[in-house]
Chains A and B, each alone.
Chain A
């Protein structure tokens, strides 16, 4: 088994446009901006919907389920003291062009497979709730 992530979490600076995303996990839910006109999810957050250019955008929760697009096991200790950890790129279930870079947790690297079903789990660091992903319930150890 690998570590959940690097030994030190470098954290985002909370700003008006991103604070909702990085604090969303306080209640266990993952959220994105969503266009209230064309219903597209928008990531990273922008003031207008990049699909229909509507300014009517609002934060909405999603299921927290995602599929794995790609992954790597980082071995080199860029951050001193880090043990190998898995970096994953996931696409949310609701919209495949909304992706997150994340860490895969609760799974052995040998059991990681592109396209596998994942679910979000949050790791709190200071005032930030990092969305990490583990195999969806029952699909792996």
Chain B
């Protein structure tokens, strides 16, 4: 714990917003984004004139069709915002890098109310056939594109998807820790149970362990239901200076600490510990910045682009010991809404839909604000949740966040 108060503690999420969420909505990314942004601004009790900062992940020209969402210049112009600070980019502590940057901007006085958004239209992009997969840039003698950078080390061997890289993380955990598919399946079953209580979730029909285990294999040991659901949707937040929190119409979610470290090698195949990767570093750096401990966390929204990632995060954040994630989730009771660690209460990305990290941050706020409806967590003794842990990213990309209801 450093002697000066972490700068991010001057920030609070005072407004949250979301567009329609679904499969192949067929609406433009800017259309969805404006819905979410206007929703968040109104939720914060503000107008467009109050917004003086804008941030997104990942920004311009990144990734496959439907992945990046609109740029900050597009959103700034569409809403005619007058900005003192703006930021977009894909390199940093996971998808939440945009939110963390906004917290620091507010803490540094560069802006007072920052609008932060993340938009995906991958479902529509895939459905229209315009998704090209990982793009190459020529250079070979034939018609097949050639690849540079990190992809040159994996694509020639058919390791073309994050599921391949994370399948090896899961296999290594089976080897080192005795993880079983029954245990891993609890992450997916828990997500599906919670999605059934979330009207906006993508997959809401009940699923049992047999259905999980019998789903088609993608890359051993990961099957179809270990993979999240490509979706269309936009999520937005207003990150304000915390002195606005008392004036906000809804309970503010105060930022207690962020986890941003990347101390190992920034690589899917060269990171020193295959079983944890960058989640280990982000989580450690977050706990170094707070007096709170894992035992204080009332609800956890942990990145589950693949089931194995949520398990990695459970351990990395210290909710159980290293290698003990399998036994911890076994049977599912520990991570249920009434368990010791209510996990991914809106269905996560596995069943709620891949809003790419931001859906998890949104749900953390919903829970802290007590707006979860049928899925609202109540802690022992009947008290509402006060501390939420959120994580984004997997492999060599990781960020984490502690939010509290009430300041400090």
List residues of chain A with CB under 8 Å of any chain B CB.
5-6, 8-15, 18, 43-44, 69-76, 78-79, 82, 85, 87, 89, 97, 99-103, 109, 114, 125-128, 130, 132
Contact = CB atoms under 8 A, between A and B. Distances in A.
The 4 closest A-B pairs by CB, nearest first: A6-B158, A13-B146, A72-B167, A12-B152
B141 A128 contact: no
Given A78-B161, A101-B157, A69 B172 contact: yes
B175 A70 contact: yes
Nearest to B171: A70
Interface of B: 133, 136-142, 144-148, 152-161, 163-164, 167-169, 171-172, 175, 216-222, 269-270, 272, 274
A75 B219 contact: yes
Contact of A10 (B155, B167, B171, B218): B155
Nearest to A6: B158
Contacts of A82: 158
A72 B156 contact: no
Given A12-B146, A12-B148, A75-B220, A85 B158 contact: yes
Contacts of A12: 146-148, 152-153, 156
A73 B139 contact: no
Contacts of A71: 168, 171
Contact of A87 (B137, B168, B175): B168
A11 B147 contact: yes
Contacts of A78: 133, 158, 160-161
Given A97-B270, A99-B270, A11 B146 contact: yes
A56 B277 CA distance: 31
A86 to B, nearest CB: 9
A89 B274 contact: yes
Contact of A99 (B159, B216, B269): B269
B282 to A, nearest CB: 21
A97 B272 contact: yes
A13 B158 contact: no
A11 B163 CA distance: 20
A114 B155 CA distance: 22
A47 B216 CA distance: 44
Given A69-B172, A70-B274, A114-B172, A10 B144 contact: yes
Nearest to B224: A76
A11 B152 CA distance: 7
A128 B13 CA distance: 52
A76 B219 CA distance: 7
A104 to B, nearest CB: 10
A6 B163 CA distance: 15
Nearest to B227: A76
Contact of B175 (A6, A9, A13, A114): A114
Contacts of A132: 157
A83 B335 CA distance: 37
22 contacts: A8-B144, A10-B147, A10-B160, A11-B144, A12-B153, A13-B136, A13-B138, A69-B172, A70-B175, A72-B171, A73-B220, A74-B159, A75-B216, A76-B216, A78-B133, A79-B160, A85-B158, A97-B270, A103-B157, A114-B172, A128-B156, A130-B157
Residue among B159, B161, B218 having the largest count of chain A Cβ atoms under 10 Å: B159
B158 A87 contact: yes
Given A5-B157, A5-B158, A102-B157, A74 B148 contact: no
A40 B156 CA distance: 26
Contacts of A76: 161, 163, 216-219
Contacts of A18: 152
A74 B164 contact: yes
A8 B155 CA distance: 10
Given A10-B145, A73-B219, A89-B274, 8 more contacts: A5-B156, A10-B136, A10-B147, A13-B152, A72-B168, A85-B158, A100-B269, A103-B158
B157 A15 contact: no
A11 B156 contact: yes
Contacts of A100: 153, 269
A61 to B, nearest CB: 19
Given A11-B147, A12-B146, A99-B270, A44 B153 contact: yes
B159 A11 contact: no
Contact of B140 (A11, A87, A97, A103): A11
Residue among B158, B161, B220 having the largest count of chain A Cβ atoms under 10 Å: B158
Contacts of A6: 157-158, 160
B272 A101 contact: no
Contacts of A87: 157-159, 164, 167-168, 219
B156 A10 contact: yes
B154 to A, nearest CB: 5
A127 B148 contact: no
Contacts of B160: 6, 10, 78-79
